[in-house]
Amino acid sequence: MDSILSRKMQTGEIYFETPELQKEQALYRDLLFQFNHTLPSKQQERTAILHQLLANFGKGSYIEPPLAANWGKNTSIGENVYANFGLSLVDDTKIEIQDDVMIGPNVTLCTGTHPLRPELRLQKAQFNLPVIIKKNVWLGAGTIVLPGVTIGENSVIGAGSLVTKDIPANVLAYGSPCQVVKQLADVD
């Protein structure tokens, strides 16, 4: 891939998809297809595919198929992470999922977005901002995390939430848009 295009994809600058980019992406989509079509009894095979597909796949982690990803190579998963079925990784730039994270079914982590200017959207322009999920976070079913968001350590995001901005550590947050409801120190 062109180094200028690669830099733009990682720094939040506007860029345009190229045939070269599509060709590279196809390699990762083939790995994703293999993962999603491996028998449940072949867990070692699945894990080996995830080590090829993802930037990192930590010890003791598990992803329940089906998994969707724009790339895979831009996603790093720590140790002892559990992701239920239907995880979608729009990983056009870095997604970092740290250790001991629990991810409910049908969660979307989205780094890619498009400009508001109509003429740029007609040209298929895009820009990306990283998503970081810190240690011991629980993302409830159907959560959507938008580009540029960091969710702080130990926080819980309620089911169906649309996370549009950073969430601090040690809180319960939910809603659309997602808002902090209480500190976790306040619960038993």
Nearest Cα to 101, choosing from 68, 77, 121, 85?
77
Q: How far is CA 187 from CA 6, 172, 178, 181, 182, in A?
A: 45, 10, 19, 11, 9
Percent of the chain with pLDDT over 70: 97
- pLDDT band at 3, cuts 50/70/90? confident
Give first-to-last CA distance, the chain, whole Å.
51
| Architecture of domain 3-186 in this structure | 3 Solenoid (2.160)
* pLDDT tens per residue across span 40-89: 999 999 999 999 999 999 999 999 999 999 999 999 999 999 999 999 99
Cβ distance 134 to 151 under 8 Å? yes
Question: Which of 23, 37, 42, 114 is an active site residue?
Answer: 114
Cα 76 to its chain centre, rounded Å, is: 9
Mean pLDDT of 124-152: 97
Average pLDDT over residues 161-186: 95
Give yes or no for residue 188 having a pLDDT over 60: no
Active site residue 37: no
User: Is 39 in contact with 59 (CB distance < 8 Å)?
Assistant: no
